[in-house]
Structure 1
Amino acid sequence: MATKDVVYIALFAALMAVLAVFPPLTIPALGVPITAQSMGVMLAGGILGARRGALAMVLFLVLVAVGLPLLSGGRGGIGVFAGPTAGFLFGWVVAAYVIGWLTERFWTGLGFVGAFLISVFGGIVVLYAVGIPVVAAVADIPLWTALAGSAAFIPGDLVKAGIAAAVIATVKRSYPLIPARARAGRA
């Protein structure tokens, strides 16, 4: 792995920490806080590609596990991996990989709409598919109840996917970080 790859991975792990600083936005009608960190997952996969994006999330989770308070609300430590949101934390690695893999495959024609659809699929569908069953199991609630409760986050996640898509499309045009060898022959 090249030095610049290590730097990019560390940079996006740091971006995840910075996104935790933004205060959660609460939807008044629902009372559901929406945090910015899932947008970091979309950005890592869409800008760095599958391998580096997933490794950035792994590095971030290792830093959380050793006790750094890098999650929204200043949480950290090994205990967060035993709570109801643990599936979403592990899902960040999977989601970043899926987003990166799809971005690499559709690189040639990738624009805002494609980046948005990829961000929605990886950052919402895949992430929820990993996270919601863990919420249901840890909270000892029916899967349908966990799914219904998570639906309140979808509007905020769609906004984050739109912001991430705009950034991904802009970075692709101006300074693509996905190496040619990763996207060669995958359009």
Structure 2
Amino acid sequence: MPASTPASTPASTPDAAPDIAVHERHARSSPTRDIALVAAFGALICASAYIGAVPVGSAGVPITLQTLTVMLAGCVLGPLRGFSAVMLYLALGAVGLPVFAEHSSGIGVFSGPSGGYLIAFPLAAALAGFLVEYVARERRTRAIVVFACSFTAGALVVHLLGILGMMRFFDISFAEAAAYDAPFWIGDVVKTSLVAMIAAEVHRAFPQLLQRD
């Protein structure tokens, strides 16, 4: 009587390992997905410029949701793709599309009172993305950690360059420009909190988002 053959298990199937490798590879980003994400976040930043746009302080620089979406791009996409998404937004505005605050556009906006903030946006997104990806690392699923990364980038880049831009435009001292910038801090704490909660949930749901093929 012939010996019985042991039943094969899924673990012994030769295709199991390749299937796992393919799944992990698809979970990571690809050039096509990178382009789609950059375009999507660029469009999101454009839309956010129209929400709010309430001038505050003596400088008349409007409050919008741009800071929220700019920092969200960096914290979710990482430094390179976050930087690229914001640069796409700035490029669209520079060539004439009315995607800046108060439906403005053109190169001249960069030399206006809010020019320093615009120039700071891609740099802040890159710094926030760097901190989330390489400093926070696995802790990026915790909102408080993402908040620290985003707030640090906003304070060191957005507010600093915004103040320097107003100093140049209005020909005033650093202290006076900082007083113009002060009303934005409260709103930024709220927006940074939203960025932290959203980005942490995204990284919890898609842990491979910042990994590349």
In the alignment, residue 202 of structure 2 is paired with which amino acid? V
Closer/same/farther in 2, CA of residues 25 and 162 from structure 1, 3 Å limit: farther
Correspondence for 1:125 among 135, 142, 156: 156
Provide the C-alpha distance between the structure 2 equivalents of 1:6 and 1:178, rounded to a whole number of angstroms.
Answer: 14
Q: 1:148 aligns with which of 166, 176, 179?
A: 179
Question: Aligned pair count?
Answer: 180
Question: 1:74: which partner in 2?
Answer: 103
Question: 1:185 is matched with which residue?
Answer: none
RMSD: 2.1
Corresponding residue number in structure 1 for 2:44: 15
TM-score, with normalisation over the residues of structure 2? 0.78
1:34 match: secondary structure:
strand
Distance in 1 separating the partners of 2:208 and 2:100: 26
State the alpha-carbon separation in 2 of the partners of residues 68 and 131 from structure 1: 22
CA apart distance, 1:180: 2.2
Matched, 1:179 2:210: yes
What is the rounded CA distance, in whole Å, between the counterparts of 2:35 and 2:163 in structure 1? 31
Which residue in 2 is equivalent to 1:168?
Answer: 199
Provide the TM-score with structure 1 as the length reference: 0.89
Following superposition, the deviation at residue 25 of structure 1 comes to 5.2
* Superposed displacement of residue 79, structure 1: 1.1
2:61 and 2:78 mapped to 1: Cα distance?
31
Which residue number in structure 2 is paired with residue 3 of structure 1? Answer: 32
State the distance in 2 between where 1:32 and 1:87 align.
11
Which residue of the partner structure matches residue 53 of structure 1? 82
Aligned to 1:112: 143
Displacement, 1:51? 0.4
> What corresponds to 1:95 in structure 2?
124
CA–CA separation in structure 2 for the residues paired with 1:86 and 1:58: 14
Gaps of 5+ in 1: 183-187
Larger radius of gyration: 2
The answer for the alignment partner of 1:35 in structure 2 is 64
- Structure 2 portions without partners, runs of 5+: 1-29
| Identity score, percent | 37
Match of 2:91 among 38, 55, 62: 62
- For each residue in 1:87-146, what CA deviation from the matched residue of structure 2 results, as whole angstroms up to 9, or x when unmatched? 110100110000000000112112110011111111233211222112101211111100
Give 1:139's aligned residue. Answer: 170
Cα gap change, 1:155/1:140 in structure 2, threshold over 3 Å: closer, same or farther?
Answer: same
* One-letter amino acid matched to 1:68: L
Conserved in 2, the CA contact under 8 Å of 1:41 and 1:123? no
CA contact (8 A) 2:61 2:114 kept: no
Displacement of 1:177 after TM fit? Answer: 6.2
* Partners of 2:101 and 2:55 in 1: CA distance: 13
When residues 63 and 177 of structure 1 are mapped into structure 2, their CA distance, relative to the original with a 3 A threshold, is: farther
Change (3 A) 1:9 1:34: same
Query: 1:83 Cα shift?
Result: 0.9
